[in-house]
Structure formats: structure tokens, C-alpha cells
Amino acid sequence: MLYLGHITFNPMYIQYANTYFFTATALNWNIIFDEEAKKIIANSLKYLVENNRIILLGFVVMPNHIHVIWRINEDFLIEDVQRDFMKYTAQQIKFHLQAVDPEKLEQHLVNAKDRKYQIWKRKSLSIPIDNNLIFEQKLNYIHENPLQAKWQLVDKPEDYFYSSALFYATGIDHLNMLANGFE
């Protein structure tokens, strides 16, 4: 612990300041994220990294939900980053589905004043991460997601393309957007 006057700084907290485990789910848990939708989500995360809004420490894009560990850069508020990410990805996924699978898009028809379709469930989850134990637990949870009995998408976490598992297993960042959360 560092003591500066009346303020106590925990070095572990400083390391994880503005770091969150974020989960967003498709409306009604609909399986909506095909290959193109997954690319849209991954490219949106990459955009946030390239524009210095976030440091991406871990992620997985599943057929109907995403999990992300990100550190929000100091100049931005988590609420703004989440809102912009959710709004942009919803709009792009809606355009994609209008073009290739209008029936699937109809599953997201809502009776709302401000929109005709809703891709994401309203209340996303954002949990602060303030220590290595929580970081490791959430990262393992993310990487194990594609192996769950419900999904069985791959045999090993690092084989799932839309995940940070390969990066943590081998150091290969095939999407060029990750930072190591253990450093």
C-alpha cells in the first residue's frame, strides 16, 4: 500500500483501475450472431482499441452473447463507451440481417417509440475488476464459454476464432487488438 496524505493507493487497484467485465446478450437470447455479425462485433472492439478508447484484455463472441474484459481509457466514461459500442453494433447487425436474413431480424421486432428493432437486451452487465483473482476467474470463464455443453463449438478454447484464448495460450493476436492483462 502507498500512503499519500489521507489517500491510500492499492497497487493492485491502480493496475485494474477502469477495468470491467462486460456482458451483453441478444434480445430474448436469440441466436443471431452469424459469422458476419461476429466480425462486426470484433471490428467494433478493434475500432475502440485503435481509437484509444479501450484496452482490450479479453473477449469472446458467442452465437447470442458476448463477454469482454476491457480497460476504459481515462478520457472516456464507461457509460459512453458501452452505449456507443452497443448502438453501433446493433445498427450494423440490423443492416446485415435486413440484407441476408430478414426473418431472423423479425425476431427482434419491438414495440418501442424510439426503434423498430432491438438487437441487444436492454440491461447489459458491467462488473469492475480490481484484482488478479477476479481477472483470472473472468478470463477463464470467457475462454471456457465455447466449450460449454450447450455450445460445444470447439474442443479447445484456443481453437475458437472469436476469442482471446489463442492470445493467452500462444501470444498470437490474430485480430491485432489485445493487450495482456497479466502485465
Residue 163 DSSP label: B
In a domain, 166, yes or no: yes
Number of structural domains, the chain? 1
Confidence (pLDDT) at 52:
96
CA–CA separation, 126 and 138 (whole Å)? 12
Q: How many CB atoms lie within 10 A of CB 73?
A: 15
Confidence (pLDDT) at 4:
33
User: Of residues 1 and 108, which shows the higher confidence score?
Assistant: 108
Cβ contact 165:139 at 8 Å: no
Confidence (pLDDT) at 15:
67
Confidence (pLDDT) at 110:
86
In a domain, 122, yes or no: yes
Domain extent for 78:
2-170
In a domain, 183, yes or no: no
Question: What cell does 13 get?
Answer: 487497484
CA–CA separation, 37 and 122 (whole Å)? 19
In a domain, 147, yes or no: yes
Cβ contact 57:181 at 8 Å: yes
Strand partners, 26: 120
Instruction: Indicate the pairing of strand 19-25 with strand 125-128.
Output: antiparallel
CA–CA separation, 33 and 177 (whole Å)? 20
Averaged pLDDT, 89-110: 92
Confidence (pLDDT) at 180:
86
Q: Which range, of 2-6, 67-71, 126-130, averages the lowest pLDDT?
A: 2-6
Strands (E), the chain: 2-4, 7-9, 19-25, 54-61, 65-72, 125-128
pTM of this structure: 0.89
Q: Is the pLDDT of residue 39 over 80?
A: yes
Averaged pLDDT, 55-73: 97
Residues 6 or more apart from 96 whose CB is under 8 A from it? Answer: 36, 37, 40
Averaged pLDDT, 125-131: 92
Averaged pLDDT, 62-88: 96
In a domain, 6, yes or no: yes
In a domain, 8, yes or no: yes
pLDDT for 133-164, tens place per residue? Answer: 899 999 999 999 999 999 999 999 999 999 99
In a domain, 180, yes or no: no
In a domain, 179, yes or no: no
| CATH code where residue 154 lies | 3.30.70.1290
Q: What is the mean pLDDT of the chain?
A: 89
Most confident segment among 12-26, 98-112, 140-154:
140-154
